[in-house]
Chain A
């Protein structure tokens, strides 16, 4: 038995206007200060005002939102008693909104204990709208929550199937001005979701199609969106790709690149997409070396050559590296300017956190601790994985 979970999704040009059709009294918009500065929060407020919904804005979500921010926001929600919570922004704002929603409904919960392993009983006080302003995390379409625990310098993979948004807005107007670096980092996050979702040990018929389509969209449109930010078609397709990849991976789970990326990103404060995509080709090689050839399906779907599944698999891994290089992305840890000594100093922590990251559970090949350590070093040096 398994599930396929999805919010209602309003997508395409003008999707934001669907907010004016909501029914409710009060909405709390959870976002960050840049969304206010860019006027995006006002766009949302205007639509909600048309629906006669009173709004307040919490614009204090930081990148890699902390447990404390979530607790603080939940207190404000309890005072205002909204019947809608609106997460507006990238993954950080949307994830923070999901966690605040959970704590608003269940004050007895601990933010770092939001778990898919128990019934939470959410949805009695409010519903959640998720509006993405980047094209990568897919957080608008998933129940996953990534928070940071500054005390432990650790990212926590949390969430419950109940922390899925009721409504996701995938409106390309929000991403037309994304700078190239953010476009690349977030787009590669979407690719990592799609590839890991398709090849995870929990892969399934319902999620497969999402992952295949998202992979194809990213390879076709990410280079265009990166090279020419005014390419409206590429922007819209990438925005769709991110949400589709989100639907794919949340229903089949991510894998080792996310476990390593969360651990590494938490230790060195590397943006999520950059971090997980850096590890992706290494973890693909690691899985492929043990005979995981679902990568070949993806290769064939996007039109790569190869006489057999082994060749097709290697072609896909090469294509990922080519894409990353073409986007000017970091393809090894050393290139981020992290000194070998600093890396060595935190390596045990990296291993501990990666081993116990929730995303490792469905990895197609599970590394033992020594293999994981080797993977971290191969990724540091940029060496193809040969074990």
Chain B
């Protein structure tokens, strides 16, 4: 299978499909309510920010696409970081919780929901690592 370029529509769709076929994610996120922007901040060859939108609801991904601009949606949660940090997270070289705790990734949204659903975050990252991803740098 061909590699999928990180941040592309195909990549977001691949993650959408991974989540919707993952029993582990479905179990872990069964109480999760809230859509996301995963924002990739410009760095190196990445000249413009990327806004990866995912509507995550009770263990399923209802919708996923790359937004053309940040105003396309008003998601409940926004997680952002530079391209190199996302690359490490998606490649399982950086624990996403550690990345957030050290400020390498930033999260805005309802922390009550987050603190009660930590396993869901781990399962999303596991799903990312199952995508054969190609990076720009």
Contacts and interface: CB of A to CB of B under 8 A. Distances in A.
A201 B97 CA distance: 12
Interface of B is mostly: helix
Name which of A201, A202, A356, A362 has the most chain B CB atoms within 10 A of its CB: A356
A115 interface: yes
B46 interface: no
Given A355-B28, A368-B24, A360 B115 contact: no
Interface residues of A, number: 28
A368 B25 CA distance: 11
A116 B114 CA distance: 11
Nearest to A110: B112
Given A156-B116, A356-B117, A356-B119, A117 B28 contact: no
Interface string B73-104: 00000000000000000000001011011111
Per DSSP, chain A at the interface is loop
B104 A1 contact: yes
Contacts, number: 64
Given A2-B98, A113-B111, A113-B112, A357 B104 contact: no
Interface in A263-313: none
A204 to B, nearest CB: 11
Given A3-B102, A116-B101, A161-B101, A358 B24 contact: no
Contacts of B118: 356-358, 360-361
B115 A115 contact: yes
A202 B115 contact: no
26 contacts: A1-B102, A2-B102, A112-B112, A112-B116, A113-B110, A113-B112, A113-B114, A113-B115, A115-B111, A115-B114, A117-B101, A117-B107, A117-B114, A118-B106, A118-B108, A156-B115, A156-B116, A157-B115, A201-B95, A355-B119, A356-B116, A361-B95, A361-B122, A362-B95, A368-B24, A369-B27
Contacts of B119: 355-356, 360
Interface of B: 24, 27-28, 95, 97-98, 100-104, 106-108, 110-112, 114-120, 122
B127 to A, nearest CB: 14
Nearest to A111: B112
Contact of A117 (B24, B27, B111, B116): B111
A118 B111 contact: yes
A362 B97 CA distance: 9
A257 interface: no
A119 to B, nearest CB: 8
A117 B100 contact: yes
A357 B111 CA distance: 14
Contacts of A360: 118-119
Nearest to B115: A115
A366 B97 CA distance: 15
Interface string A320-361: 000000000000000000000000000000000001111011
Nearest to A202: B98
A314 to B, nearest CB: 29
Contacts of B117: 356
Nearest to A358: B118
A3 B112 CA distance: 24
B33 to A, nearest CB: 14
A115 B115 CA distance: 7
A254 interface: no
Contacts of A361: 95, 97, 118, 122
A117 B121 CA distance: 13
B22 to A, nearest CB: 11
Contacts of B106: 118
B84 to A, nearest CB: 13
Nearest to B108: A118
Nearest to A356: B119
Contacts of A117: 97, 100-101, 107, 111, 114
A158 interface: yes
Given A117-B100, A156-B116, A201-B95, 7 more contacts: A1-B102, A114-B111, A115-B115, A117-B97, A161-B101, A356-B116, A361-B95
Contacts of A1: 102, 104
Contacts of B110: 113
The residue among B97, B104, B110, B115 with the most chain A CB atoms within 10 A of its own CB is B115
